[in-house]
Structure 1
Amino acid sequence: MATDTLPEGFTDMDVYLFGSLLLIGGVLGFILNSVTVATFVCVPEHRNPSNFLVVNLAFADMILSVNGFLAGYASYLRHWPFGQQGCVYHGYQGMISVLASVSFMAAIAWDRYHQYCTRQKLFWTTTVVITSFIWVMAVFWASMPLMGWGVYDFESMRTCCTLDYTRADWNYTSYMFTLVMIYLTFPTYIFTTCYDAINRQFRRVHHQRFNTSLPLFVLWVCWGPYTLVCLYACFFDLKYIPPRVRMILPVMGKMSPICNVVLYSYGNEFFQGGVWYYLTGQRVAEPTPNKSN
């Protein structure tokens, strides 16, 4: 590493720190989410439509964990070893996983609303349609920069790749605002309406099953600051934001697979029993939603 040039605005310690965070986050996120997938495959009684959404979220986050791991590996090398085309594919892979992950979180919020508030069970046909639609849309919108609407390029440390927000032209601005509307504003609306209704239901039956404000909080903590910088770039010069700060934000986003698996798998009362059984061989009683008064 001593022969490589440090990226502008970064010290040797910065590169090691960011690289270590990305490597640890990538490995841990991949392992934790792979347990979720293995639970669904190996525990038959937990193979139901609702849990299928959770597993697809885990799979999307596994892809993002691999993306983060590659960025961490490149950070230790102090350069991106896979060339410009590899950078484009890295950004493309990361975008697919992020868009799919946010979409599945919104789908889980909608499903939880029906689990707790309407008592309508999700059918396999509906789940397959929703899942297919989410993946197709994620691939479609992530493919736009490959076709000229937006550009994938290096992040500020030049060891990972994403949508190039330094090109503050109409091409970038229109694409970014479209993504924000579809993949942040609309999911935020779903989170808010569904979890508010669930919270009212919990108060009605006097049984708080989980923290209904946590899912939206996690979404915004992981991806909100990064999105704000991307929007800031549409109107203002990024030179006022230090490169280190601009690098912290995507690293926070790449930690989302760990937050998601804890929240939606290990913290999900309808899934955590399967995880426990898969890891220990001990069964736990399956909870049932309380009925309205």
Structure 2
Amino acid sequence: MNITNSFSPSAEFLRGGVLKAQIDTGNDFLGSSIDESYMDYVHPHWRQYQAPEPYQHFLLGLAYFVILVVGMLGNMLVIVTFFTTKSLQSPSNAFVANLAIFDALMMSKLPLFVVNSVVEGQLFGKIGCDIYGLIGSYSGMGAAVTNAAIAFDRYRTIAFPLDGRLGMKAAIGLIIFTWLWATPFSILPFFEVWSRFAPEGYLTTCSFDYMTEGKSTQLFTMTIFSWAYVFPLLLIAMFYSKILSHVREHEKMLKEQARRMNVKSLSQGDNEKSAEIRIAKVAISIVFLFICGWTPYALVALIGCFGDRTLMTPTFSMFPAIACKTVACIDPWIYAINHPRFRAEIQKKVPWLCIYSNDAKSSDNRSTVSDVSEVKSETA
């Protein structure tokens, strides 16, 4: 599919007189310092704006550098802790480790953004833009469907604690599925079979093309919006609503039994159920972060494709990207803080983090019943 012409500095852009006015006044337009051959890939919409001030590039680069350091440290701690601690290698934790891998993948492209902010453009041109978009596509869609897998695992564990737990083979199969899920709409734009990756905002980042006019762009945008955002969220909402319904039924049953036995409560000894519900709360927190991180980006894509493009200023379009990177940064810290066994193991590996406290020991004991039962089910 040849769509290069639609990005060229064409009459569509020049007839507004914006570029001509900027040239006449001596003001730099967005991308004026970028090689003209690469500017052919930039949609005319972005070229009507003046170039950001150097301090804006500096602040964004600084913010992304902080996110890179904190996010890569957190995700690598989760990944290393999972693969080096046998007692943590349960199916449930495998999904969290997979989420950390996708988030670490998201972090891996941030050095390129920092360098791009220094040069105020794409240092490696078209291939750099394509690789940046490919990594973002895999990590974003992979994290979405992994959150759905976490929700499914929690539902099976809580609703069917005796015979519904996923084994390690089933978990690995689902993890492979998450990577396969992210592949089609990462590869298609990379090879320009359908859509493409194109610069956006300050032209230091790239995403799938949601700006080119035409039915093909609109169809691709709606397809990837459904594939990467709507479907995973529907699955997440369905599984967690079932979890909440099951918990309510469970509590109602305990109260009824307690009433018949003339005792105050039967729930105090239900340690395994309490541990599973606690872990489910952690998963819900991660899912909530995903919604906060990716909803703004989805809205920007829909506005760029179907809405009022006057809202799509370069600065406005950069904030959703920061949101999704921030979520990928804090995901592992949320999990490490809330999971006692992960917290204890991370504290052993990096004592200077000081994330493990004495009050975690009782929570660790409560989660032991759950972890042991998971290991037994895997080895049976």
What corresponds to 1:136 in structure 2? Answer: 180
Partner secondary structure for residue 35 of structure 1: helix
**Separation of aligned partners in 2, 1:129 and 1:211:** 23
User: Which of 18, 21, 34 pairs up with 2:63?
Assistant: 21
Map 1:120-199 onto structure 2 (within 5 A): 120-145=164-189, 146-199=191-244
Task: Give the TM-score, by structure 2 length.
Answer: 0.69
Map 1:1-293 onto structure 2 (within 5 A): 5=33, 8=50, 10-119=52-161, 120-145=164-189, 146-203=191-248, 204-205=250-251, 209=278, 210=281, 214-268=285-339, 271-280=342-351, 284-285=364-365, 287=367, 288=369
Give the structure, 1 or 2, with the largest relative contact order (CA under 8 Å, sep 6 or more): 1
Partner secondary structure for residue 153 of structure 1: strand
Identity %: 22
Change over 3 Å in CA distance of 1:272–1:104 after alignment to 2 = farther
**Separation of aligned partners in 2, 1:63 and 1:164:** 21
Partner secondary structure for residue 365 of structure 2: coil
The Cα shift of 1:5 comes to: 4.7
**Separation of aligned partners in 2, 1:243 and 1:74:** 15
The Cα shift of 1:270 comes to: 6.2
Partner secondary structure for residue 109 of structure 2: helix
**Separation of aligned partners in 2, 1:275 and 1:202:** 31
Change over 3 Å in CA distance of 1:198–1:138 after alignment to 2 = same
Task: Give the TM-score, by structure 1 length.
Answer: 0.87
Change over 3 Å in CA distance of 1:270–1:110 after alignment to 2 = farther
Contact 2:115 2:123 (8 Å CA) reproduced: no
Contact 1:166 1:238 (8 Å CA) reproduced: no
The Cα shift of 1:26 comes to: 1.6
The Cα shift of 1:271 comes to: 4.0
Contact 1:25 1:69 (8 Å CA) reproduced: no
Change over 3 Å in CA distance of 1:273–1:285 after alignment to 2 = farther
Measured on the aligned residues, the alpha-carbon RMSD in Å equals 2.6
**Separation of aligned partners in 2, 1:53 and 1:41:** 12
**Separation of aligned partners in 2, 1:189 and 1:265:** 26
Paired letter, 1:90? Y
**Separation of aligned partners in 2, 1:121 and 1:276:** 29
Structure 2 unmatched ranges of 5 or more = 1-31, 35-48, 252-266, 268-273, 371-380
Paired letter, 1:133? F
**Separation of aligned partners in 2, 1:275 and 1:190:** 31
Change over 3 Å in CA distance of 1:215–1:61 after alignment to 2 = closer
Contact 1:64 1:94 (8 Å CA) reproduced: yes
Q: Larger Rg: 1 or 2?
A: 2
The Cα shift of 1:286 comes to: 5.5
The Cα shift of 1:168 comes to: 3.3
Paired letter, 1:198? I
Partner secondary structure for residue 162 of structure 1: strand
Change over 3 Å in CA distance of 1:230–1:185 after alignment to 2 = same
Structure 1 unmatched ranges of 5 or more = none
Partner secondary structure for residue 306 of structure 2: coil
Number of equivalenced pairs? 286
The Cα shift of 1:133 comes to: 1.5
**Separation of aligned partners in 1, 2:101 and 2:50:** 35
Runs of 4+ in 1 over 6 A off after TM superposition: none
Change over 3 Å in CA distance of 1:211–1:260 after alignment to 2 = closer
The Cα shift of 1:181 comes to: 1.3
Partner secondary structure for residue 305 of structure 2: coil
The Cα shift of 1:200 comes to: 3.8
The Cα shift of 1:122 comes to: 1.4
Change over 3 Å in CA distance of 1:274–1:85 after alignment to 2 = same
Paired letter, 1:171? S
Change over 3 Å in CA distance of 1:216–1:56 after alignment to 2 = closer
